[in-house]
Amino acid sequence: MKAIVIRNRVRTFVFQLLSAAAFAASAGTASAQTNEPRTVADFLRAVPERYTVGYDRRMREELLRGERRGVVVDIANGYISYDESDNPSGFELALFRRSDGSYLVAYSTGAFHDLRMGQELGNWPTLVLLSYEGRGRWRDVTRATLPVAFNRRLAYKLPRRGRRIEAWDERGCLRHTLTWTNDRFRYRGPGRRPPRCRA
């Protein structure tokens, strides 16, 4: 009789132990899912510093809290920019939604100021396209995603509204556009017409 009682207690204990382990695992998964980036602000916080040179996490938090001038945080449109007058480059970050509900994250610098001056100071424009793979993993998909090679002599202006990236030269002329359609960018050059230039 004692042996049966002991076996039942062992079974009950094992069952409780397995139930607790399963609950802990599901709670951990739910917690990990809630920590995944959902808004453009979340993505700005999460992007590894190797892609945002000069903008460490502390500074990005300051920008999101509105502690610096020249910041635009547009959650609804998936867009953030920073353009303070004493900053030689500034940056933009925009989200492009994929058909599966995930996002391509675009990060660009150099779109706000005189390109020639920036180049003289060593602040060449950048454009990085990142894929968030989940659980803190990121992949640079710039080369695989762009239909034309990145040109560091052009400044890439990200859209606050819409799906079109504009590439501008140092004279202030639009050289080409990249429009996000069906999970890829489509290239459009100026064609036969002269390029559109800023006044």
Report the distance separating Cα 124 and Cα 42, nearest Å: 26
Give the structural domain span for 79.
Answer: 40-153
In which band, very low, low, confident or very high, does the pLDDT at 110 lie, cut at 50, 70 and 90? confident
1-15, 70-84, 93-107, 145-159: which has the minimum mean pLDDT? Answer: 1-15
| Domain-embedded: residue 169 | no
CA atoms within 13 A on the CB side of 9: 6
Strand partners, 79: 74, 94
Instruction: Kindly state whether residue 79 falls inside one of the protein's structural domains.
Output: yes
Residues forming a β-bridge with 174 = 168
Let me know how many helices (H) and strands (E) the chain has, helices first: 5, 10
Residue 108 lies in a domain: yes
pLDDT of 15 reads 47
Task: Give the whole-number percent of the chain exceeding pLDDT 70.
Answer: 73
Question: Looking at the 3D structure of the chain, how many domains does it have?
Answer: 1
Confirm whether 65 is domain-assigned: yes
Is 16 within the bounds of a domain? no
Rounded-to-integer distance, Cα 112 and Cα 157, Å: 8
What pLDDT sits at residue 51? 93
pTM over 0.85: no
When pLDDT is cut at 50, 70 and 90, the band that residue 11 belongs to is: low
Residue 187 lies in a domain: no
- Domain contains 32: no
Mean pLDDT of 8-26: 49
pLDDT at 14: 47
Q: Is residue 15 part of a domain?
A: no
Which residue shows structure tokens 């920019």?
81
Least reliable range by pLDDT among 38-42, 96-100, 109-113, 170-174: 109-113
